[in-house]
Amino acid sequence: TRTVKLAVIPGDGIGPEVVAEAEKVLDAATAGSDVVFDKTRFSLGAGRYLETGDTLTDDDLAAIKSHDAIVLGAVGGVPGDPRLKDANIERGLLLKLRFELDHYVNLRPSKLYPGQPGPLADPGDIDFVVVREGTEGPYVGNGGSIRRGTPHEVANETSVNTAYGVERVVRFAFELAERRSKRLTLVHKTNVLVNAGSLWQRTVQEVAIGHPDVAVDYLHVDAATIFLVTNPGRFDVIVTDNLFGDILTDLAGAVTGGIGLAASGNINPSGEHPSMFEPVHGSAPDIAGTGTADPTAAIGSIALLLDHLGLRDEADRVSRAIEDDISERGAEPRTTAQVGDAIAARLQA
Ligand code: NAD
Ligand code: IPM
Ligand code: MN
DSSP readout, 81-148? -TTSGGGHHIIIIIIHHHHHTT--EEEEEEE--TT---S-SS----EEEEEEE-S-EEEEEEEEEEST
Q: Alpha-carbon distance 329 to 332, whole Å?
A: 8
Q: Is 246 in the pocket of ligand 2 (CB under 6 A)?
A: yes
- Helices 336-348 and 312-327: crossing angle, nearest 10°? 130
Q: How far is the CA of 40 from the centre of ligand 2 (A)?
A: 23
Q: Which is the catalytic residue, given 111, 189, 241, 307?
A: 189
- Choose the residue to mutate in 246, 251, 276 for probing ligand 2, maximizing ligand atoms within 8 Å of C-beta: 246
Under DSSP, is residue 181 helix (H, G, I), strand (E, B) or coil? Answer: coil
Q: Alpha-carbon distance 89 to 28, whole Å?
A: 32
Tell me the CATH number for domain 1-104+262-349. 3.40.718.10
- Helices 296-308 and 312-327: crossing angle, nearest 10°? 160
Angle at 340 between CA 68 and CA 296, to 5 degrees: 70
Is there a catalytic annotation at residue 39? no
Q: Is 94 in the pocket of ligand 2 (CB under 6 A)?
A: yes
Q: Which is the catalytic residue, given 250, 316, 324, 341?
A: 250
Give the pLDDT score at 349. Answer: 66
Ligand 2: residue whose CA is nearest its atom 4: 246
Parallel/antiparallel/unpaired status of strands 183-188 and 237-240: parallel
- Choose the residue to mutate in 44, 95, 276, 277 for probing ligand 2, maximizing ligand atoms within 8 Å of C-beta: 95
Q: Which is the catalytic residue, given 27, 38, 217, 222?
A: 222
Q: In the chain, which residues fall in CATH 3.40.718.10?
A: 1-104+262-349
Name the helix (H) or strand (E) containing 164.
helix 163-179
Q: How far is the CA of 247 from the centre of ligand 3 (A)?
A: 6
Is there a catalytic annotation at residue 246? yes
Q: Is 263 in the pocket of ligand 2 (CB under 6 A)?
A: no
Please give the average pLDDT of every successive group of 10 residues along the chain, which has 349 residues.
Answer: 97 98 97 95 96 95 98 94 84 96 98 92 95 97 91 95 98 98 98 97 98 98 98 98 98 96 97 98 97 98 98 97 92 94 92
DSSP readout, 248-285? HHHHHHHHTT-GGG-EEEEE-TTSSS-EEEEESS---T
Q: Alpha-carbon distance 340 to 22, whole Å?
A: 7
Give the pLDDT score at 88. Answer: 85
Its pTM stands at 0.97
Q: Which is the catalytic residue, given 49, 104, 113, 139?
A: 139
Give, in words, the CATH class of 119-142+159-255.
Answer: alpha beta
Q: In the chain, which residues fall in CATH 3.40.50?
A: 119-142+159-255
Give the pLDDT score at 50. Answer: 93
Residue pair 245/285 in contact (Cβ under 8 Å)? The answer is no
Q: Is 287 in the pocket of ligand 1 (CB under 6 A)?
A: yes
Is there a catalytic annotation at residue 24? no
Is there a catalytic annotation at residue 139? yes
> Backbone dihedral region of 91: left (phi > 0), alpha (psi from -120 to 50 degrees) or beta?
alpha
Partner residues linked to 110 by β-bridges = 128
Partner residues linked to 132 by β-bridges = 106, 240
For 197-230, give one letter per residue: b (16+ CB within 10 A) or e. Answer: bebbeebbeebbeebeebebebbbbeebbeebee
Q: Is 12 in the pocket of ligand 2 (CB under 6 A)?
A: no
